[in-house]
Amino acid sequence: MQDTFSFSSTTISSTASGLILLYFLRKCWSSKPRPPLPPGPKGLPFIGNLLDFPRKQFVLTFLQWGEQYGPITWVMVPGRKFLIVNSYEAMRELLDKRGSNYINRPQSVMVTKLMKTDFTTVRLQGEARWRRHRKFLRPALSLNTVKQNYSDLFLAKASGYLQAILHKPDNFHHSLRRALGETISELTHGAIKHQDGTDYVTEHEENFAYSKRAAMGYLVDLFPLLRFIPSWFPGAKFRRDAQKWGQHGANLRKMMIEGVEQRMATNEGRPCYVSNMLEDLQKLESDTGEDIREDVQAVHDSGFSFYQGTSKILDQTATTLKNFLLAMSLYPDVQARAHKEIEQFFVEGRSPDFSSQDQMPYIRAIVLESLRWNPPVSFGVPHTAREDNFYNGYFIPKGTTVIANQWQVSRDPMIYDDPSTFNPDRFIDNPDILDPRDFVFGFGRRICPGNSLAYQLTWIFVVSILWGFEIQRPEGCPPLERDADRFDFGLIRYAGSHFLIRGRLADYETFSTPYPFPCTFIPRANITKGNAPSSV
């Protein structure tokens, strides 16, 4: 008994001294100065850098910060910490090499929670549901699948666009969105209209307008507790709007899925992403008895994500093509060379197709330059840090929103000489130059799964338009020499009034597009009204 007691007291005293030692060691360790936060503009008490955020042309301010503070800049607003990355090397290091730490997305209360868009691929956190989406998207959007399954659809839509320009040349911006919207709708859900006549493309445009408004930045994003205010409460219009806008998306999603199911039941309509995946799953279920419910949900959600959430797919591809059209009107020499290359393959009634794609280096260079000249998602889709992290001796706390300023890469003179000039030759003269697809489609595990599709679709539109038309800038239009006169850099035009912050805290999934510009389309010998390219 005595022995036991003395043993216990020794144990207790040594445990106690051990704990005390540990306490002091920890104290010493934790009082060791933590590396500093990255440099950045000095903020104000309470509101941090809110006033440093520009109201428009965000990337240009981000670029200035890059020049002043180096590759990474730290900024804060209430409740949010941002790391703006202004160097390709740092983007690769953080988002690619340490991709598992930067796999999440920031969650906007208004768009994600109140509008209930957290099912879309782009907004999901990097967890099981998101992995399930990517599992279906990967094979469906691979280059091989795109070439085999979607080439005819792309050709038909490009041809339809030429006819639209012939008939209503002034409407070319609108008909471009229409052609791309139809392409995506047919590709994902096999139709552009519901059985009851509802036009999916028009509905998606409406839905997109709602998302854009919601993404403008609401007070509830600064003070998330506001989301618990009942929607009937005075001043809670944001809740009623979110409900209405979210419901519009939910109804549309339901309608589009029902449309696919009806067509599958009657063997009508063209095969599409959703029907192909559902057929595979149904086969799996009947062969193995596997529970496919979560997979079916992932197909429904990822199919709709082509539009919702990532509805910018349409905008991004449209922007790339608008970049191209603007460039053709500003750089006639480039256009003349492109016409020459096309004439080697597609003349005398032979309309464009993909058969000579590999033999047309100048067209490839034009497509790449259209992506680089004005990266459509000018400062990327943000990622967030899952854990504390260090870079170049700076501390990046858990939860930081990381913004990769793609515009900076596109204008880095160390990478691209004379970067504001549209110069496809840079890709021909220097085959080792950075391929813009290595940054305009994002980074790491969240990298855009649609990059091959986007490239192929852009390519056939570019060739078809050049085959059919000569593009001119109308006489008397100003020459647009500066980037700031050409591109809006993520400016969202929204006339509605906002609380304190109008646009300063806009959701950061904005994208840059050319300001509206006029073009004259002169039909070439190849094309006449009613003469659609023969291959479609």
Binding-site residues for heme sit at 448
Q: Could you say whether residue 180 binds ligand HEM (CB under 6 A)?
A: no
The single residue among 376, 436, 490, 514 that binds ligand HEM, judged by CB under 6 A, is: 376
Of the pair 161, 346, the CB lying nearest ligand HEM is at 161
Of the pair 456, 526, the CB lying nearest ligand HEM is at 456
Q: Write down the least CB distance from residue 440 to ligand HEM, Å.
A: 5
Of the chain, the end-to-end C-alpha distance in Å amounts to 97
Q: Could you say whether residue 259 binds ligand HEM (CB under 6 A)?
A: no
Strands 401-404 and 80-85: parallel
Of the pair 208, 238, the CB lying nearest ligand HEM is at 208
Binding residues for ligand HEM, total number by CB under 6 A? 27
Stretch that binds ligand HEM, among 15-23, 213-221, 375-383, 475-483 (CB under 6 A): 375-383
Quick one: which H or E segment has residue 522?
strand 520-523
Of the pair 81, 322, the CB lying nearest ligand HEM is at 322
The single residue among 159, 320, 401, 513 that binds ligand HEM, judged by CB under 6 A, is: 320
Quick one: which H or E segment has residue 336?
helix 332-343
Of the pair 110, 184, the CB lying nearest ligand HEM is at 184
Residues 10-39 touching ligand HEM, rule: CB under 6 A, are none
User: Scanning the structure block, which residue is given the tokens 């986007």?
Assistant: 454
8 A C-beta contact, residue 471 and residue 328: yes
Q: Could you say whether residue 352 binds ligand HEM (CB under 6 A)?
A: no
Which strands sit side by side in the sheet containing 72-77, from one edge to the other? 72-77, 80-85, 401-404, 383-384
Beta bridge partners of 81: 76
The single residue among 90, 111, 264, 313 that binds ligand HEM, judged by CB under 6 A, is: 313
8 A C-beta contact, residue 190 and residue 272: yes
Q: Could you say whether residue 449 binds ligand HEM (CB under 6 A)?
A: yes
The single residue among 61, 185, 317, 351 that binds ligand HEM, judged by CB under 6 A, is: 317
Q: Write down the least CB distance from residue 490 to ligand HEM, Å.
A: 13
C-alpha to C-alpha distance for 282 and 296, rounded to whole angstroms: 9
Residues 377-416 as x/- pattern, contact with ligand HEM by CB under 6 A: x--xx-x---------------------------------
Of the pair 305, 329, the CB lying nearest ligand HEM is at 305
Beta bridge partners of 384: 104, 401
Q: CA quadruple 292, 293, 294, 295: dihedral positive or negative?
A: positive
Q: Write down the least CB distance from residue 327 to ligand HEM, Å.
A: 15
8 A C-beta contact, residue 78 and residue 72: no
C-alpha to C-alpha distance for 306 and 207, rounded to whole angstroms: 13
Strand runs (DSSP E) across 341-441, as ranges? Answer: 383-384, 389-391, 394-396, 401-404
The single residue among 108, 163, 305, 329 that binds ligand HEM, judged by CB under 6 A, is: 305
Tokens of 242: 């979110």
C-alpha to C-alpha distance for 94 and 389, rounded to whole angstroms: 9
**Helix, coil or strand: residue 177:** helix
Quick one: which H or E segment has residue 440?
helix 437-440
Q: Could you say whether residue 141 binds ligand HEM (CB under 6 A)?
A: yes
Residue 382 is given by DSSP the state -
C-alpha to C-alpha distance for 318 and 42, rounded to whole angstroms: 38
Tokens of 508: 């950061």
Tokens of 464: 């078809």
8 A C-beta contact, residue 377 and residue 442: yes
Stretch that binds ligand HEM, among 152-160, 210-218, 289-297, 372-380 (CB under 6 A): 372-380
Q: Write down the least CB distance from residue 461 to ligand HEM, Å.
A: 11
Beta bridge partners of 104: 384
The single residue among 448, 501, 506, 519 that binds ligand HEM, judged by CB under 6 A, is: 448
The single residue among 306, 416, 427, 521 that binds ligand HEM, judged by CB under 6 A, is: 306
Of the pair 145, 535, the CB lying nearest ligand HEM is at 145
Q: Write down the least CB distance from residue 454 to ligand HEM, Å.
A: 4
Stretch that binds ligand HEM, among 25-33, 160-168, 374-382, 480-488 (CB under 6 A): 374-382
Tokens of 445: 């595990």
Beta bridge partners of 75: 82
Which candidate, 324, 363, 320, 313, places its Cα nearest to that of 343?
A: 363
Residues 418-447 as x/- pattern, contact with ligand HEM by CB under 6 A: ----------------------xxxx--xx
Of the pair 94, 292, the CB lying nearest ligand HEM is at 94
Of the pair 50, 141, the CB lying nearest ligand HEM is at 141
Q: Write down the least CB distance from residue 310 to ligand HEM, Å.
A: 4
User: Which residues sit in the known binding site?
Assistant: 448
Of the pair 176, 220, the CB lying nearest ligand HEM is at 176
Of the pair 371, 532, the CB lying nearest ligand HEM is at 371
The single residue among 310, 323, 401, 456 that binds ligand HEM, judged by CB under 6 A, is: 310
Of the pair 41, 514, the CB lying nearest ligand HEM is at 514
Residues 117-136 touching ligand HEM, rule: CB under 6 A, are 121-122
- SS3 for 70-126 is CCEEEEEECCEEEEEECCHHHHHHHHHHCHHHHCECCCCHHHHHHCCCCCCCCCCCC
User: Scanning the structure block, which residue is given the tokens 């509905």?
Assistant: 203
Binding site for ligand HEM (CB under 6 A): 121-122, 137, 141, 305-306, 310, 313, 316-317, 320, 376-377, 380-381, 383, 440-443, 446-450, 453-454
